Amino acid sequence: MIEVTVDLGDRTYPVLVGAGARHHLLEVLPIGVRRAVVVTQANIDWPVDPGIEHKVCLIDDGEEAKHLGTVEDLCRDWAQWGLTRNDVVVAVGGGVVTDTAGFAAAIYHRGVRFVSVPTTLLGQVDAAIGGKTGVNLPEGKNLVGAFWQPSAVLCDVETLGTLPPREYRSGLGEMAKYAFLGVDGLRDLPLDEAVAACVRCKADVVAEDEREGARRAVLNYGHTLAHALETAGHYDLRHGEAVAIGLIYAAEVANRLGRISANRVAEHRAVVGAYDLPMTLPPGLDPDGLVALFSRDKKAVDGVTFVLDGPNGVEPVRVDDTALLRDTLEVLR
């Protein structure tokens, strides 16, 4: 078992990575908890046993479940069962489950402890790590949320063996991102070590900038276009697939701004292509609609902001040239 520490002072917590990690749940529950609520989905066939009195709450499948109505339903179920701040929420599933259940835990009784057990590659390398919880609005992705760190994260790589190929490949989109954040040789590592390497990178960034005041924004590399595509809602893309396209788009934008060379753009295409991820925009593209959505991104506090590669590495950059952004979309058709 590989253990990675997310160092946040008195809120420091472990991330266990390896086959069978979910069986360590009782060991990582906060001291003194009496009862647990397990939040999961009906299609997730990875039961966990908290080892204490517990109740299972199911949420609907798919990204469509990640909304405020689901959060209200969870909180009302918990209140009716009598969940208190001495208890714990256990989220078992992909990013939809860990994001939604984590946000509900953050606001119920003004905060109850929770443990994440991500069962998808995307969840294990990214979504369940770092304490960013939240849900979507019709106007955009993850616009309502809270920073609420888990007490522990259990990344059981056994759960990845049953993922549908496209779901697994979606996780590779987030993994590809880490290749540009300083994690080398991911494709050559055993799966548990590759997951742990991504977790370690994210843990280092989160420890330095927990609330995305500066450096943590680099973890959104490739996500500005990705979130616009997902918000638009009529493109057949999984999150990691949208991130992969977003990585190529960000590289092309950076090249047109003179931040990186054509060779560096080619490196992006090589990494994304090696994971068999999409690099072109889906059919039915609405360039003006996507550019308009860029301004709704969480990073857009002072104009449209992208995370772009450059001479100092990946960093947030304000981009005011909407014509450049639109013309670059045409390159990815």
pLDDT of residue 302: 66
Radius of gyration of the chain (CA): 19
Whole-angstrom distance, CA of residue 274 vs CA of residue 299: 29
Report the CATH number at residue 144: 3.40.50.1970
Print the domain residue range for 43.
2-208
Confirm if 305 and 299 have CB atoms less than 8 A apart.
yes
Whole-angstrom distance, CA of residue 111 vs CA of residue 292: 35
pTM to 2 decimal places? 0.94
Are 24 and 123 found together in one domain? yes
Give me the average pLDDT of each 10-residue run along the chain (333 residues): 97 98 97 96 95 97 95 98 97 98 98 98 97 94 95 98 95 97 95 98 96 92 95 89 98 98 98 97 90 78 87 96 96 91
Are 73 and 139 found together in one domain? yes
Whole-angstrom distance, CA of residue 280 vs CA of residue 277: 10
pLDDT of residue 285: 83
Residue 283 CB partners (closer than 8 Å, separation 6+): none
Longest dimension (CA), the chain: 59
Measured in whole angstroms, the distance separating CA 182 from the mean position of its chain's CA atoms is 18
Are 36 and 183 found together in one domain? yes
Helix 68-81 × helix 95-107 angle, to 10°: 60
What are 200-235's pLDDT values in tens digits? 999 999 999 999 888 999 999 999 999 999 988 878
Answer yes or no: is 293 within a domain.
Answer: yes
**Catalytic sites, residue numbers:** 110, 132, 174, 202, 212, 216, 220, 223, 227, 239
Answer yes or no: is 215 within a domain.
Answer: no
Are 323 and 273 found together in one domain? yes
Answer yes or no: is 132 within a domain.
Answer: yes
What is the pairing mode between strands 113-118 and 152-156?
parallel
Q: Where are the alpha helices (DSSP H) in the chain?
A: 25-28, 68-81, 95-107, 121-122, 165-178, 191-208, 223-232, 239-256, 262-274, 287-294, 322-331
pLDDT-above-70 percentage for the chain: 98
pLDDT of residue 71: 98
Residue 321 CB partners (closer than 8 Å, separation 6+): none
Are 144 and 227 found together in one domain? no
pLDDT of residue 301: 59
Whole-angstrom distance, CA of residue 136 vs CA of residue 10: 30
Number of domain units in the chain? 2
Residue 47 CB partners (closer than 8 Å, separation 6+): none
